[in-house]
Amino acid sequence: MNHVIFAAGESTIGPTLALIVGAGMIAQWIAWRTQLPSIIALLIAGLTLGPVTGLLEPDQLLGNTLFPLVSLSVALILFEGGLDLPPRELRNTGTAVRRLISIGAVITGVIGWYSAREIFGISNEAAIVLAAVLVVTGPTVVGPLLRFVRPAGTTGPILRAEGVLIDPIGATAALIAFELVLAEETNDAVLSLLGILGLTVVAGAGLGLASAFLLDTALRRFLIPDQLAVPITFAFVVASFVASNEIQEESGLLAVTVLGIYLARRESSTIRQVLEFNESLRTLLISVLFILLAARIEAEQLREVLVPALLFLAVLVFIARPLTVLVSTIRTSLSWRERVFLTTMAPRGIVAAAVSAIFALRLEEENVPDAEKIVPIVFLVIIGTIVVYGFVAGPAARILGLAEAEADGALIVGAHAPARGLALQLKARGIKTLLIDTDPYNVTRAIAGGLTARRMSALAEEAAESLDLRGIGRLLSVTSNDEVNALSTGRFARVFGRREVFQLAPGKKRSGDSAVPDEYLGRIVGIEGLTYATLDERSRQGWKVVGAAAGSRMDDALAEGLFMPLIRIEDGAWAFICRNDPLPITGEVIGIAAPSLHREIVAEQTANEADDAAEKTSGSATG
């Protein structure tokens, strides 16, 4: 690049790294605010800092350490993916996932190789490596899309498992393709291929299992103190990755994936702590990696392959993916709707970007024709698949009945009388609700009242995965147990986000302190003093949940202690009323009212309904 280099000397390394991290976080925030895939914003940031403005040139910034750092970062990302893949998901989706990452990968690779060669006119060698790289999908892209769409059934777990497991397979396939195109004789190629496969399985799976067993044993026997659990876990990840790669190149990704999946079997606070830390680290690493890799691309290279890349993208999206899903789901229990949805989700992500950059550079060193076109093609495919699947997956899931247009409903933990009353008020206004409770009596009463309810603990291991959360976008925990309420908000914060998990205020100890520390609490619903004990006492006194127009009457009732507001509805939008929210309330309000106020509101509503019915009857008679 003939640009001004921002990272020309040692004195500018710090500011340049700050620029990369800052740009990455701004891109992530913009993506969150606009509800667009974050990788699109990151790629735009990288292209802007690199080929467009010339402010960043990664090769000069990091030199020979660039690709080792990229590889190590990808390893940490894949470890987190394996750690976030519960064994039950693998058991429930085993057949379809196994076929997708084996037969499906072969189908995608063959179609990708032939179409790349014919569409771009590149050499056979470059086309083979390109196709091998593009068999991956990627949990870093699939995960955010699934959280946004929230499809019902087993499609989510299938796509998540496919994304995690196919990444090391794709990296191995790229290595095999690389060795294949450089082999001088067929016999050499076959022997090389068999050797790579054997060593990859032995080194990757073997070292991954051995490291996982040692680490798991040390954690179970408390041989590692809590303050060292996370750093030592990452030391095991790095050591496994490096050692495996020393035995067989690119087998390290398999090792860290196996290590993560093995540890996922162990539901413990330590593993959850590692997962929580790694999720934050993953966001940072993805942001930095995409900006660095995108900044390496020459604008001229993108322009050369832009038009044929659109046709190549169409082949991958409309031919390769549907055929892969069709073959991989034969004789499975998936419905036709679920199979169709699986065809709408195969975006490429960071592994494709990183692996393509590494092998393209090595092919260029070996003077393989058209090797320089691999990286821009891969980045255009990444952008194209994210845009296509990002905009198609949501509407497709809704049309197929696997998701709803707006995730505006509420999951209510607790199905006692006040919770049922609240759910009925929301249902009457067209807002979806789902109640869960461990008490069969409460669940039976809820179902008898026309509500959707399930007997389940919010803390159950499979709760978030097995519940039908179509149309559900927030949680309210109102059980009698303050600890369960806090733990429920913590567990479902990963599903809905911390902004959308709510609970009743915990009770006070005799000392006056809260029964649950503030750092474990969700957002507190209701006015000062509203706890489960208060709610239960008022319910026994005959207070009931009611909805009415907000105004001076409700303000007076609130001031007199005859009404406790819980929800406000205005301009078609609803929200829980949290502590310290501004009062008075405008629009419509739902809350728990004293018997006298409840009778007054119900009588008024009954009279209004009677007037409306009389008006309609009069109008019909006149007509």
| 403-437 residue pLDDT tens | 776 778 899 999 999 999 999 999 998 899 999 99
Buried b (16+ CB within 10 A) or exposed e, 306-332: eebbeebbebbbeebbbebbeebbeeb
Q: How far apart are CA 403 and CA 221, in angstroms?
A: 44
Does the pLDDT of residue 558 top 70, yes or no?
Answer: yes
Read off the pLDDT of residues 83-110 as tens digits, 9 standing for 90 and up. Answer: 777 666 666 667 888 899 899 999 999 9
The pairing of beta strand 573-576 with beta strand 563-570: antiparallel
Residue type, 593: A
Assess contact for 541 and 532: CB atoms under 8 A: no
At 150, phi and psi to the nearest 5? 55, 65
| 55 alpha carbon, distance to own chain's centre | 32
Q: Give the contacts of 77 (CB within 8 A, at least 6 positions apart).
A: 139, 140, 282, 285, 286, 350, 351
163 pLDDT more than 80: yes
Residue 63 class from Cβ within 10 Å (0-12 exposed, 13-18 middle, 19+ buried)? exposed
How many other C-beta atoms are found inside a 10 Å radius of the C-beta of residue 574?
Answer: 18
**The predicted structure's pLDDT at residue 5:** 42
Answer whether residue 462 shows pLDDT above 80: no
| Paired strand residues for 502 | 476, 523
pLDDT, tens digit, 9 for 90 and up, residues 252-284: 888 888 888 888 777 655 666 777 777 778 788
Nearest one of 139, 136, 168, 170 to 254, comparing CA atoms: 168
Interatomic CA distance for residues 320 and 323, integer angstroms:
5
Q: Taking a C-beta distance cutoff of 8 angstroms, is the pair 118, 207 a contact?
A: no
∠ at Cα 95 (94, 100), nearest 5°?
100
What is this structure's pTM?
0.76
Q: How far does Cα 370 stand from its chain's mean position? A: 36
Strand order in the sheet with 523-525: 453-455, 433-437, 409-413, 472-477, 501-504, 523-525
Short-list 230, 80, 55, CA closest to 160: 80
For the chain, domains (ranges, CATH) are 60-399 (1.20.1530.20), 409-622 (3.40.50.720)
Backbone angles phi, psi at 433, to 5 degrees: -135, 155
CA Rg value for the chain: 28
Burial class (CB in 10 A: 0-12, 13-18, 19+), 197: middle
Highest mean pLDDT: which of 140-149, 238-247, 462-471? 238-247
> Average pLDDT of the chain?
84
> Residue 454 pLDDT > 70, yes or no?
yes
Q: What's phi and psi for 343, nearest 5 deg?
A: -75, -15
- 168/244 Cα distance (integer angstroms): 12
Contact between residue 285 and residue 73 where contact means Cβ atoms under 8 Å apart: yes
* Average pLDDT over every residue of 574-601: 85
Angle between helices 299-315 and 374-399 (to 10 degrees): 40
Q: Does the pLDDT of residue 224 top 60, yes or no? A: yes
Which residue type does 578 have?
Answer: C
Distance of alpha carbon 485 from the chain centroid = 23
Tell me what the mean pLDDT of segment 35-45 comes to: 80
pLDDT digits (tens, 9 = 90+) for 309-352: 999 999 999 999 999 999 999 988 888 999 999 999 888 877 88
The one-character DSSP state at 506 is P
> How much is the pLDDT for 285?
84
